[in-house]
Structure 1
Amino acid sequence: MTDGTVNNASLFRGRENSQLSAASDLRFALLLATRCLMALTVMSATGVFSLPWSLSLQASENRLPDDRPELDRSELTTHGLHVLESRRLLLVTDVPLQDVKALPPLADAMFDELQRRLGPVPPNIAGTEFQITGYLIDAPERFEKAGLLPPEQFAFKHGRHLGYQFWMNNQNLDYRRRHLMLHEFVHCFLMCEHGMQDIPPLWYTEGIAEFFATHSMEVEISRSRFGILPPSPRDFEGWLPVTEIRRGLKVAHSLAPESDLNWSLEIVRHPPSSSFTTNMQYAQAWSLVWLLHNHPELQPYLANFKHVRTREEFLEAERTIPADIQERLAVVWPLYLTSLVEGMDPVRSLPAIKTPPPQSLTAENPSTTVNIAADRGWQPAGIKLQTGQQIEITCSGRYAVHDQPRPWISEPQGITIDYYQSRPIGEVTAMLVSLSPTYTPQQIPVGRGLQLTATDNCELWLQINDSPARRKENSGTAEVQIQRQ
């Protein structure tokens, strides 16, 4: 590639010397028209000019025509490339076949899942079945010689999709290879109706691909599961979201608030650039989509997102979530991030979005007492503090953390037989959550008690320290008294 174009002539079956049937003529005309429109899309996406909305490749009843080149498979072998094909994926690769033979049937299983959960793809005008061509690349020079790399303006680090095709670099971990293939497949599925124009916001576009690509491949591949939360890091080596978020939180907590990494929900929903460049951005996008699919209070609105393909369809679905819930979600966002762990129980561990309005401690009502359940995650103390206000927290009670081989009885200072996040399990912890979140609050060990000073207008939340994956093993409550100073 010297001029930014792809030379696929040696791999396409020649047409100029063929006696094409009427059906072939029609198919070729459709392919040619599609290529012209896709060229416009490429130039628009890369900033050559702005494509009018009327040319946004929108189809009301049909998906876009299949834009893939026909490949000469015998020619491919001369370049050291192999082809594996299933109903939904034609895979061209130079990776050993024993390492990738599961990818096409896994793509078939993903297609069925996407049809079920996001709605069916429309037919195309030629009446052909939905199928994607994927290029899994170990040695790029082989694909370059075969003329199969994407245009230079579509360079990629890990993977890239365009129309009914995607390109991805080989990964050194089996799970990561499958995950990246599924991620790009989801993009192709969702953009086969309108192309790359008028797409939903970046966090949703990338987050939904990450969400469904997180999978468990079963022995019977057709029964594989997608859109899951891994039960543990084992067998999911190379899956990054939780690891990235925990790493980022540690970095954020090591900085002063004024220099903190901005972890607000606003930054996730409205990133400063038009593309993601870090694993952290993909992790946060995944976490928001996962929350949408799993938080009990968001479940009534999830069905509105099923058929989202365009930005306007997304905005219409988003508007069905009441404004007060969206505002509160921004407040509890840091509580959610600190709760994310493989195998977590959403019902027990996700913070409530809508809670009773918190009250101020006043001279007339200087104290309050709340019970904090050991089998639940972050729980509101029901009070709000102003910047500079001081409180004293006193904790008491006995409760059980873990029930195997027998219940471990803990008091508010926790028990040092086991630790979670470098603190004793069973320890009462607190978080002062800003009412105008622009920084990442830290978890504060409380134990039997301590004094706190609010550094911002905030709410007090409490929990008993333990892994969110093990809260169902806990029982009992701690009594917490909060006194105005």
Structure 2
Amino acid sequence: MDKGTDSLDGHRCRLLSKRGANGVLPGFVFALFLTATAHAEWPTPRPLDEGRLAVAGLRVVESRHATLVTDAASSAEIDNLPRLIDLAAPQWGERFGVEEDRLNTWRLRVYLIDEEAKFRALGLWPDKSGDFQHGLSLGYEVWVRQQATDYYRRHLLLHEATHSFMATLLGSCGPGWYMEGMAELCGTHAWDPATRKLRLAVIPASRDAAPDWGRIGLVRQDADAGKALSIEAVMRIDNRMVLSTESYAWVWALDGFLDHHPAYQERFRKAPGWVTSDEFDQSFRSVFAKDRRRLDQEWRLFTKTLDYGHDLKREAIDFRGGAPLAAGGSRRVKIAADRGWQSAGVAVKAGEPIHISATGRYVIGHEPDGAPWPCEPNGITLDYHAGRPLGELLATVDAGPGAFIEPTPIGLAADYTPPAAGTLYLRVNDAPDALAENEGEVTAVVTAR
């Protein structure tokens, strides 16, 4: 595993079926959406002889929803892994719409592996998928190889357990991009050992909060190199073959973006109802058809600016149309310092300049001791974001290839020539993870030339 980039590139997740003499779909790697398998079709985990396990150096740790079988030395972190499944189960149940009575009886067998040979000798190795590199999910059993960090061990377990939960209780995991994206999303977690509280589907607050994970850096690396994937390109990621680490990063990014964005979350969370349908992707496109252009614009912005602690609620674009200014006319608008792009309510034409002036004093950050950083629309040089002074007023138009990702600095005042016809948008310059620190607003005046 590469530190800072992380890897699930050896991950397999196959669907058992009643097809074929051996009960396994022909071939090597399959996406779960190819077959809608009923709950009852998954075999129960193989029986355990705890006496034989103990002689071989394995031990068993039980909890309400999980049985851990491992040869790893006892520690508070490892012995808590079954409890982690207990805490995750109601969150999965709520997210995927599983009834309480079915959730109550659901159990998972977890094999945490230091030495593969011990598990093979005891008949605890998957018969047909034994070459996995990091993790494997087959029905009510998951296999997880030991990892270098506590965080990534938990992440990998939650990733594989999400597959198992969806496969056994929903009957499928949907197409590859959704299946792997949801496993990555639910695997990305926050764990507080002091309070024993677990939160799934978080955007990590920092690199240190998610060691060995690295998905954010991979997406930004591609985006900065001009290789960002469109939504449709992510939806073509096919897990019937071994996925690259970059592919895992992109499916996490898409599912995370849709799951956290206030304008898209409710529709995206309908997706578990489509997982057994061959029309999953068509259903997805249908529910987002009415505002797909805006969705694609916000996705491009998200991938271009993605960072740890990304605050999608505040970064969500305030889409509102505008009206043209009369000759020599003007419009006054308030721009909040703690939000992303906001409509100025002014329709503009390509190549026809307007004048923007701005006033106001607002807070754009704080010292470690809590002292505020006061700022005006020309920004401050105590810090920079994207190569420009922090807090500087920026402008863009909601049309054209550079919409929202290639802004023009305005500062206290500037003429602005729109590169495309559309609505004018304004914001102060700041990182997506820092908007919550800001207070106050800018008063901007837009004047026709």
Measured against the shorter chain, the TM-score band is 0.7 to 0.9
Question: What does the per-residue CA deviation read over 1:281-315, in whole Å, with 9 as the maximum and x for residues that have no partner?
Answer: 32332233233333222244355335443244745
Match of 1:206 in 2: 180
1:241 aligns with 2:232: no
Task: State the partner residue of 1:282.
Answer: 248
Equivalent residues in 2 for 1:316-335 (5 A)? 318=284, 321-335=287-301
Number of residue pairs matched by the alignment: 427
1:268 — aligned with what? 234
2:3 matched residue in structure 1: none
Structure 2 counterparts to residues 50-69 of structure 1, below 5 A: 56=35, 58-59=37-38, 62-69=39-46
Do residues 464 (structure 1) and 415 (structure 2) align? no
CA displacement 1:353-372 (0-9 Å, x = unmatched): x532797x9x9799987654
Partner amino acid for 1:463?
R
Q: How does 1:38-437 map to 2 (within 5 A)?
A: 39-43=22-26, 46=29, 56=35, 58-59=37-38, 62-98=39-75, 99-120=77-98, 129-151=105-127, 153=129, 155-193=131-169, 199-219=173-193, 223-250=197-224, 252=225, 260-271=226-237, 274-275=240-241, 277-302=243-268, 304-312=270-278, 314-315=280-281, 318=284, 321-352=287-318, 354-356=319-321, 372-380=335-343, 389=351, 394-402=356-364, 404=366, 405-430=370-395, 435=400
Q: Report if the CA contact (8 A) 1:268-1:285 is conserved.
A: yes
Residues 264 and 440, structure 1, Cα contact 8 Å, conserved in 2:
no
Distance (whole Å) between structure 2 residues aligned to residue 393 and residue 139 of structure 1: 69
Q: In the aligned structure 1, how far is the partner of 2:396 from the partner of 2:238?
A: 28
Q: CA deviation at 1:394?
A: 4.7
CA distance in 2, matches of 1:377, 1:409: 19
Report if the CA contact (8 A) 2:322-2:424 is conserved. no
- CA-based RMSD: 4.2
Residues 1:118 and 1:152: Cα distance change in structure 2 (over 3 Å)? closer
CA distance in structure 1 between the aligned counterparts of 2:358 and 2:48, rounded to whole angstroms: 72
Rounded to whole Å, the distance in 2 between the matches of 1:206 and 1:291 is 14
Gap change, CA 1:276 and 1:481, over 3 Å in 2: farther
Asked if the contact 2:42/2:139 (under 8 Å) is kept, the reply is no
Distance 2:303 2:287 in 1: 21
The residue type paired with residue 192 of structure 2 is E
The amino acid across from 1:333 in the alignment is W
- Structure with greater contact order relative to length (CA < 8 Å, sep ≥ 6): 2
Task: Give the SS at the match of 2:263.
Answer: coil
TM-score for both structures, normalised by structure 2:
0.77
Query: One-letter code of the match for 2:214?
Result: L
Q: AA paired with 1:348?
A: R
- Note closer, same or farther for the CA distance 1:319–1:81 as it changes in structure 2 (3 Å cut): same
1:79 deviation in Å?
A: 3.8
Paired amino acid for 1:399: R
Q: Which moved more, 1:320-329 or 1:427-436?
A: 427-436
* Structure 2 Cα separation of the partners of residues 110 and 43 of structure 1: 32
**1:436–1:296 Cα change, 3 Å:** same
The answer as to whether partners of 1:294 and 1:346 remain within 8 angstroms in 2 is yes
1:303-348 deviation line (CA, Å, top 9, x unaligned): 5335443244745763662512233201221223345444444332
SS at match of 2:168: coil
Q: Which whole-Å CA distance do the structure 1 matches of 2:147 and 2:287 have between them?
A: 38
Change (3 A) 1:398 1:140: same
Between the aligned residues of both structures, percent identity stands at: 29
Q: Once the two structures are superposed, what CA deviation does each residue of 1:227-259 show, in whole Å capped at 9, x if it has no partner? A: 233344444333433333333333x2xxxxxxx
Contact 1:391 1:482 in 2 (8 A): no
Distance across 2 between alignment mates of 1:211 and 1:225: 11
Task: Report the structure number with the largest CA radius of gyration.
Answer: 1
Call closer, same or farther: CA 1:135–1:51 in 2, change over 3 Å.
Answer: closer
Structure 2 runs not aligned, ≥5 long = 1-15
Shift of 1:276: 6.4
Counterpart-to-counterpart distance in 1, 2:273 and 2:397: 38
Task: Determine the C-alpha separation between the residues in 1 that align with 2:441 and 2:390.
Answer: 14
Following superposition, the deviation at residue 177 of structure 1 comes to 0.8
Q: Which residue of structure 1 lines up, in the alignment, with residue 8 of structure 2? A: none
* Residues 155-213 of structure 1: CA deviation (Å, up to 9, x unaligned): 333222122222222221111111110111010000015756xx422222122222222
> Is the CA contact (8 Å cut-off) linking 2:32 and 2:174 kept in structure 1?
no
